[in-house]
Structure 1
Amino acid sequence: MSSTLAQAIAWGRAELAAAGVASPDADAALLAAHALGLSRGETEARAILGAPEPTGYRDLVRRRAAREPLQHITGTAPFRDLELAVGPGVFVPRPETELLVQLALDDARLWREAGETRPAVIDLGTGTGAIALAVASEDPACRVTAVEREPGALEWARRNLSGSRVRLLECDYRDVTPDTAGRFCVVVSNPPYVPDGEIPRDPEVRDYDPPTALYGGDRAGMRHPIAVMETALRVLRPGGSLIMEHAESQVEPVALALTERGFQDVRVHHDLTDRPRATTARVPDAHPDDELRSCS
Structure 2
Amino acid sequence: MSAGAGDGGPGDSRGPLGVRDLVEGAARVLAEAGVASPRVDATELAAFALGLDRLDLVLAPAAPEGFASRYAELVERRRVREPLQHITGRTGFRYLTMVVEPGVFVPRPETEVVAQAAVDEAAHLASAGRRPVVVDLCTGAGGIAVSVASEVGGARVWAVDASPAAVALTARNAELAGADVAVQHGDVRDPGLLAELDGLVDVLVSNPPYIPPDAVPVDPEVRDHDPDLALYGGGADGLDVPRAVIAAAARLLAPGGLLVMEHAEVQDARARAAAEQTGAFTDVASRPDLTGRPRMLVARRIGAGGVKDSQP
TM-score normalised by the chain length of structure 1: 0.92
In the alignment, is the contact (CA less than 8 A) between 1:90 and 1:152 conserved in 2?
A: yes
Number of residue pairs the alignment of both structures matches:
289
Task: Please state whether the residue corresponding to 2:255 is helix, strand or coil.
Answer: strand
What's 1:218 paired with? 235
> Is 2:208 the counterpart of 1:191?
yes
Task: Please state whether the residue corresponding to 2:148 is helix, strand or coil.
Answer: helix
> Is 2:192 the counterpart of 1:179?
no
**Counterpart Cα distance in 1 of 2:53 and 2:38:** 17
Residues 90-121 of structure 1: CA deviation (Å, up to 9, x unaligned): 000001000111111221233345x5510100
**Counterpart Cα distance in 2 of 1:121 and 1:155:** 19
In the alignment, is the contact (CA less than 8 A) between 2:43 and 2:55 conserved in 1?
A: no
In the alignment, is the contact (CA less than 8 A) between 1:177 and 1:234 conserved in 2?
A: no
What's 2:295 paired with? 277
What's 1:111 paired with? 125
1:206 to 223, 248, 270: 223
What's 1:58 paired with? 72
In the alignment, is the contact (CA less than 8 A) between 1:5 and 1:46 conserved in 2?
A: no
1:147 Cα deviation from its structure 2 partner: 0.6
What's 2:161 paired with? 148
Identical aligned residues as a percent:
47
TM-score normalised by the chain length of structure 2: 0.87
Task: Please state whether the residue corresponding to 2:221 is helix, strand or coil.
Answer: helix
Q: Which moved more, 1:24-33 or 1:282-291?
A: 282-291
> Is 2:91 the counterpart of 1:77?
yes
- Listed as ranges, the gaps of 5+ residues in structure 2 are 1-7, 9-15
> Is 2:183 the counterpart of 1:165?
no
**Counterpart Cα distance in 1 of 2:273 and 2:129:** 30
Which residue type is aligned with residue 127 of structure 1? Answer: G
- Listed as ranges, the gaps of 5+ residues in structure 1 are none
1:178 Cα deviation from its structure 2 partner: 5.2
What's 2:4 paired with? none
Q: In the superposition, relative to structure 1, how do residues 144 and 91 fare at CA in structure 2: closer, same or farther (>3 Å)?
A: same
> Is 2:99 the counterpart of 1:89?
no
Residues 55-103 of structure 1: CA deviation (Å, up to 9, x unaligned): 5000000000000000000000100000110010100000100011111
What's 1:120 paired with? 133
Structure with higher Rg: it is 2
In the alignment, is the contact (CA less than 8 A) between 2:287 and 2:295 conserved in 1?
A: yes
Larger relative CO (CA 8 A, sep 6+): 1 or 2? Answer: 1
1:227 Cα deviation from its structure 2 partner: 0.4
**Counterpart Cα distance in 1 of 2:101 and 2:219:** 17
Which residue type is aligned with residue 132 of structure 2? Answer: P
Which residue type is aligned with residue 74 of structure 1? Answer: T
**Counterpart Cα distance in 2 of 1:129 and 1:104:** 14
Q: Where do 4+ consecutive residues of structure 1 move more than 6 Å?
A: 289-292
